[in-house]
Chain A
Amino acid sequence: MNAKKWVSTLLTACMVMLLLAACGKGNNEGAASSSSASASPSASASESASASPSAAPADLSGKLTVWTYFDQVKILADNFMKVHPNVKVDVQIFPGDQYQTKLMSALQSGKNTPDIMDLDHGYIGKFLESPFLADLSAMGGEDLVKSYVPYVTAYGRSADGKLRAISDNSSPGGFWYVRETAKKYLGTDDPDQISAMVDSWDKVIELGKKVAKDSGGKVHLIQGASGLFDIEAFNTESWVKDGKLNIDPKWKDTYATQLKIRSEGVDAKLGFMSSGWGSALNDGSVVLTSMPSWATFMIGNKDGAAKGKFGIAKTPEGWYNGGRWEAIYDKSPNKELAYEFLKYVASPEWQTINLQQTGNMPSNAAVFDQLQDSFKGDLYGDQLILKGFAEQMKSMPARQPNKYDDDILGKWVKVASQGIDNNTPYDDVVAAFKKEVKNTYPEIQVD
């Protein structure tokens, strides 16, 4: 009897211990451990892009933890470890929709924090004003970005002007087209000629009407009127100025253009990244698809099926969409080593490898300058795609981020998209939009 009691007590105690152990365990759920599969770069860094790896490779040693939501960071880490064999980089990947919450919880609690964290364009503004990001300017970061595309640098600065995050990509956008379809409906597949055909929205509408007529309404010139939201997103003023909601007058013209595009049958009414959008991009049932350079994963290129199939033309205005910045946790015990990692991120050496391996466009203007006359992507035949992007990337307005812009833009997109579908007058769209903003952000003054 006594023994029975003893055993049952012990078992119960074990259960309680197990439970407590489970609760107190380091929270690494969903985190992919560091990748050991090295992604061997198919091409070495360009000769002209001078590699400037910082410290002597053998001098650096230690371990870095990088948090991200983007699996290609493993390629970056593997390449960094090739240059610095004594450094171990542990890349932990979290699902994109949970990443921000996960990161905020870790930073707030100060437990299980990363040394380096990835921040998306959509929410970097909030993090830049938080006390968690190291001041890269004080560590010599200004040197890293001195030849950078201006808007990329600006988007990594906090309100006090200090650099707190840097990016290895610039995410430029353009009109992707299937060459065969372009020849059929536009009479040419030459990117410069097509760019000239669509260098204003009026021309886009006229050409769109012609394509719709020629194809009996089966083929459309562009995917969706909603594409203009992305194109205008950073060619307009910030949504909040001095604590007040600011609606750039340019949005009114843009909305009028969008209504016209819809009413004239210029667009295929497909939402960005929807399944129909993906099909149209690949089968050419839409002539021009506006998308950022990182969206090429939507192109079906199994066994090189899309080799030389596409061309890229310029949109009426230069633009970019999205992007991923990297920052150092201010209380990281490995700040110096983390800074070496960021040095590599900013280097032409890495950005060249990145361009060749993943097609991600560089943020370092030096890479544009050195490769624009020679770089050819697999999908684009002989087109020198960097040449087209270089000019527009350098001339994009360098806008400081804030914690509201992306969210408020999302609200505008939601309300204005419904307006386009229903042919709603602009003032009604603005009224509905103001109501949304006022409700979500009571602290913003809405007139």
Chain B
Amino acid sequence: MKSKVNKSVYGYLFISPFFIAYTVMGLVPILYTLYLSFTKWDGFTNPIYVGFANYERLLHDTFFYQTIGNTLIIWIFSIVPQLIIALLLALILNEKFIKGKHFFRAVFYFPHIITPITLGVMFALMFDWQTGSINMLLMKIGVIHDPIHWFNNPWWSRIIAASVICWQYFGFNLIVFIAGMQSIPTEVFEAAEVDGASKSQVAWRITLPLLRPVFLFTLITSVIGGLQLFDAPLMLGDGPGNSGRTMIMYLYETAFKSFDYSYGAAIAYGIFIIIMIFTAITAKATKMTKEA
């Protein structure tokens, strides 16, 4: 008996809303940005075609290279503690004997609900040089005599920006890890218990190896998200010598503060290529791990 695929045109009607929406809201702006990147346009006059001039400028733009470095530093400073904290807490909160674990899960997840802008402002106020609560506290307990100008130090600026992101996302990763842990069959743990494995042995030799797919998921999503850091660092400022300025912040400042739309478009495509490279590296690493 021959199977016959139903090629009814009505199917196209059903999927058309998404494609129309994507074309109008997504594809057209993406292509228009590409067109703009080959022009000189200040938003008032008509765009003038300049070929690869913007990309040439981008290749020699030391400020842009600096933002790539800043973004990576902030991302590494946020992802490493984020995963460690999330993992430790997940291991603890996954234990049966812990009381109130649902309450703690909810509490740790709360920062993820708050908008990054709000968190950025909150941290900016907390670490303010003259009136910040952190300096007040440190002075009160006698750790420091004069207030520290946190945002005048390149590394502190980056660490504070990373802290905001770390604080926002560790709860989300915690939930992901707990979900991963709960998907591990209980028989494995019971067998380990019967064999007399200690808690640490169970964690190192059973839980963590079986969580590998969850780790990979977290890593890929954080690479893509981490390279697009914008809102929280924006609230904390560029930092001394632009040390806290991320790639997307630079794009925003160029296109929407200096109103150099065409160069901003070139920066956008530059960022696109960088994210693509890093995603490819991550995907490659994922493949290798799978094969291992």
Contacts and interface: CB of A to CB of B under 8 A. Distances in A.
Nearest to A107: B44
Contacts of A3: none
B44 A108 contact: yes
Given A268-B130, A442-B57, A414 B44 contact: no
Contact of A275 (B20, B42, B125, B254): B125
B260 interface: yes
Contact of B10 (A5, A19, A130, A270): A5
Interface residues of B, number: 33
Contact of A269 (B57, B63, B129, B258): B129
A9 B13 contact: yes
B256 A20 contact: no
Interface string B39-79: 00011110000000000010001110000000000000000
A5 B10 CA distance: 8
A418 B44 contact: no
Contact of B128 (A15, A23, A274): A274
B13 A12 contact: yes
Nearest to A127: B44
Contacts of A270: 130-131
Interface string A97-129: 000110010011000000000000000001001
A169 to B, nearest CB: 24
Contacts of B42: 126
Contact of B131 (A101, A107, A276): A276
B16 A12 contact: yes
Nearest to A23: B24
A19 B260 contact: no
Contacts of A130: 44-45
A279 interface: yes
Contact of B149 (A12, A268, A407, A421): A421
Interface in A40-94: none
B17 A15 contact: yes
Given A418-B241, A432-B241, A439-B61, A16 B10 contact: no
B130 A269 contact: yes
Contacts of B149: 421
Nearest to A20: B20
A19 B240 contact: no
A142 B21 CA distance: 50
A28 interface: no
A279 B132 CA distance: 13
A126 B44 contact: yes
A108 B241 CA distance: 35
A13 interface: yes
Chain A contact residues: helix, strand, loop or mixed: helix
B61 A276 contact: no
B201 interface: no
A296 interface: no
A422 B243 CA distance: 15
B14 A12 contact: yes
B2 to A, nearest CB: 22
A16 B44 CA distance: 34
A8 interface: yes
A440 interface: yes
B131 A279 contact: yes
Contact of A101 (B57, B130, B256): B256
A12 B17 CA distance: 8
B44 A104 contact: yes
B129 A440 contact: no
Contacts of B254: 440
Interface string A1-43: 0000100110011011001100100000000000000000000
B37 to A, nearest CB: 16
B152 interface: yes
B259 interface: yes
Interface in A209-265: none
Contact of B17 (A19, A274, A421): A19
B238 interface: yes
Contacts of A439: 61-63
Q: Which of B61, B131, B152, B240 has the most CB of A within 10 A?
A: B131
Nearest to A421: B152
A414 B61 CA distance: 20
A100 B260 CA distance: 13
Q: Which of A107, A407, A418 has the most CB of B within 10 A?
A: A418
Interface in A280-331: none
30 contacts: A8-B14, A9-B13, A12-B10, A12-B17, A15-B17, A16-B13, A16-B17, A20-B20, A23-B24, A107-B44, A108-B43, A131-B44, A269-B130, A274-B128, A275-B125, A275-B128, A276-B130, A276-B131, A279-B131, A407-B257, A407-B258, A414-B238, A418-B240, A418-B241, A421-B240, A422-B152, A422-B240, A432-B241, A439-B62, A440-B254
Interface of B: 10, 13-14, 16-17, 20-21, 24-25, 42-45, 57, 61-63, 125, 128-131, 149, 152, 238, 240-241, 254, 256-260
The 9 closest A-B pairs by CB, nearest first: A276-B131, A12-B13, A130-B44, A104-B43, A421-B152, A15-B17, A439-B63, A418-B240, A269-B130
